[in-house]
Amino acid sequence: MATGQTWIDEQAAEYADLVNDSSFSSVTGYVEDDPTEYQLIWEGGDLGVALTTNPGGAGVSVSRITGKGFPHGIKNVV
């Protein structure tokens, strides 16, 4: 991994090469000042799931399946 490059940056670059027109999103939440980062990678526009914040703001979870799109991967980076 290159200096200054995070795991998420590396993964996003790899996936961007594979699925050039995919959507990439990253959200960051803080639980008692500890950063928790989630990387969402998907193809074809819609993610296929709806996300919601967990009670107390401790991360995100899938609230429902939308039936649109195809979720390629959801990874929790601690």
Position 1 in a domain: no
**pLDDT of amino acid 23:** 46
Residues 47/66, Cβ–Cβ less than 8 Å: yes
Task: Quote the domain boundaries for residue 61.
Answer: 7-77
Place of tokens 């960051």: 28
Position 2 in a domain: no
Q: What is the pLDDT of residues 20-66, one digit of tens each?
A: 544 444 444 544 555 555 566 655 566 667 777 777 777 777 777 77
pTM of the shown model: 0.32
Residue 29: is it exposed, middle or buried by C-beta count within 10 angstroms (0-12/13-18/19+)?
A: middle
Position 62 in a domain: yes
Position 15 in a domain: yes
Residues linked to residue 64 through DSSP beta bridges, in sequence order: 50
Position 34 in a domain: yes
Give the chain's domain count. Answer: 1
Q: Return the structure tokens found at 67.
A: 């039936």
